[in-house]
A = this chain, B = another copy of it.
Amino acid sequence: MALPLLLLVGVGGLRAAERSGGSSGSSSAMEELATEQEAEESHRQDSVSLLTFILLLTLTILTIWLFKHRRVRFLHETGLAMIYGLIVGVILRYGTPSSSGRDKPLSCSQEDRPFTTLLVNVSGKFFEYTLKGEISPGKIHNVEQNDMLRKVTFDPEVFFNILLPPIIFHAGYSLKKRHFFRNLGSILAYAFLGTAVSCFIIGNLMYGVVKLMKLVGQLSDKFYYTDCLLFGAIISATDPVTVLAIFNELHADVDLYALLFGESVLNDAVAIVLSSSIVAYQPTGENTHAFDAAAFFKSVGVFLGIFSGSFMMGAVTGVVTALVTKFTKLHCFPLLETALFFLMSWSTFLLAEACGFTGVVAVLFCGITQAHYTYNNLSVESRSRTKQLFEVLHFLAENFIFSYMGLALFTFQKHIFSPVFIIGAFIAIFLGRAAHVYPLSFLLNLGRRHKISWNFQHMMMFSGLRGAMAFALAIRDTATYAHQMMFSTTLLIVFFTVWIVGGGTTPMLSWLNIRVGDHVPSVEEMSESRWLYFRMVRILKEGTEQSRKVHGSSGCGIALTIII
């Protein structure tokens, strides 16, 4: 009942504010009734649009089950969620009765742009009004029209503040520690150096594409160098969720798994911080085409500051949780323990946001710390509780994002598809990935004992999928022409890579002769088998107690006693 309910509030935020504004002080009952009814109508529409998403997710779950049941592997659940989203998007776009002015984008030239805030003086008191949007003159009395397209569009911050944190936390919390730390150096190199290289190469290539488009006359609005760099940062976050799911199922090589997983987890964090440092820098550097050394170093400084700050926040709250769980006997009460764990992990996010760092990054490192320290202090029940809780949240959030992506292709109102830009972007991400994987692997192999072989490098090259993070970063700001074009292109890249590359993983693995069915028990699994023993003893004890309570009335109770 938790996660998506919030969205309801997100969507319904304005409504509630409107209502409270309308009913303050003494007011005529009729008017209040009208606002009340309007608010109710809006609330009803919010519920319907959320129901659409729930229906989509339910369908996805049932189809995933069918696929798993029949061992179909060419399509991952996220790809499926996108397809269902697409279908519903098409229905909403072309199936619902069109309301006039829907397809016309809300554009207005500089001259007649309205103020975003109005101050009205009513007998000496000032009231503030905020711009709600333009309405076509014919509809003045019918603003709350039944426009499903508008209703299914969420506030982009929802992705950053609600859907990404559980996904990222779960990634950190479910990290397979042994293999991660064994390959830490390489993972850090891929994530930091690799993402920076990829961002820089893609940014510069795209700037070339943009120049070309200007020459040919295909670009009608401004497109700065920083926009290109931002696109590079956005699109450099890989998300090989599909590939990793298949790796997991086939028990592919654990080192390759650790490299890919570690890189994708950490480069999400790098991409977020990179894009925010570029954005933070944008307004003053708007017209600088040339390379500015001071500005560059300032950006690097901002990057390092935000990154290390977020890292610290996450690590500190993780360690505090570990200490609290170690020095109290909280593990006698798994409910309290789980609640504390949840609250502390969540407070990391808020703490980082409150301090001006990046919550999502802090949550990632908090997850890793919790897995490394706190997990060992938890009771057996809390271990499975926390794992399962975040697994469910992660699953729901991820599938929600992917079905939203499918929907957005048809319902987002300001798409700008430029074939030149799209083709350029595909070439750029290919080159960016290549320039990042091969040279870095060569350098790393100089120092590594277990070399990263050629087929591993090809597989890493191939697994450069783009997913939820690229989408969330791209949708964050779609105000300008450049950003809208970047958003549409990102959406297409995500679609393409999730479907085509995701579907090709199994053939690719066998083509590259990468071992599957390789299962070396990790440290966690070893200790897990020790826990199995304790769990069994505990259950046997529970069983005898139970059978004593039942006074031998249940056959099972007796059976348990005999076993002991």
Contacts and interface: CB of A to CB of B under 8 A. Distances in A.
A29 interface: yes
B25 A340 contact: no
Nearest to A547: B529
Contacts of A7: 6, 9
Contacts of A338: 388, 392
A4 interface: yes
> A22, A335, A350 — which one has the most chain B CB atoms within 10 A of its CB?
A350
A353 interface: yes
Given A122-B112, A536-B560, A13 B9 contact: yes
A9 B532 contact: no
Contacts of A535: 539
A512 interface: no
A131 to B, nearest CB: 4
Interface string A386-400: 001111110110000
Given A10-B6, A336-B61, A392-B385, A51 B347 contact: yes
Contact of A540 (B2, B4, B526, B536): B536
Interface residues of A, number: 150
> A6, A64, A389 — which one has the most chain B CB atoms within 10 A of its CB?
A6
B536 A554 contact: no
Chain A interface, >50% SS class: helix
Interface string A478-508: 0110000000000000000000000000000
A16 B113 CA distance: 19
Interface string A255-290: 000000000000000000000000000010010000
A521 interface: yes
A147 interface: no
Contacts of A514: none
A187 interface: no
Contacts of A459: none
Contacts of A385: 388, 392
Given A1-B390, A26-B109, A62-B328, 6 more contacts: A1-B345, A25-B113, A114-B122, A127-B132, A130-B130, A536-B560
Interface of A: 1-10, 12-14, 16-18, 20-27, 29-30, 32-33, 35, 40, 43-44, 47-48, 50-51, 54-55, 57-58, 61-62, 64-65, 68-69, 106-114, 116, 118-120, 122-137, 140, 143, 155-158, 161-162, 165-166, 169, 283, 286, 324, 328-330, 332-333, 335-336, 338-340, 342-347, 349-351, 353-354, 356, 363, 385, 388-393, 395-396, 477, 479-480, 519, 521, 525-526, 528-530, 532-533, 535-536, 539-540, 542-543, 546-547, 549-550, 553-554, 556-557, 559-560, 563
30 contacts: A1-B165, A1-B169, A2-B166, A8-B350, A10-B10, A14-B17, A16-B155, A18-B130, A23-B479, A24-B108, A26-B109, A26-B110, A44-B353, A58-B340, A58-B344, A61-B340, A68-B333, A114-B125, A126-B135, A126-B136, A129-B130, A335-B392, A335-B395, A339-B395, A388-B389, A528-B546, A529-B543, A532-B556, A533-B543, A536-B536
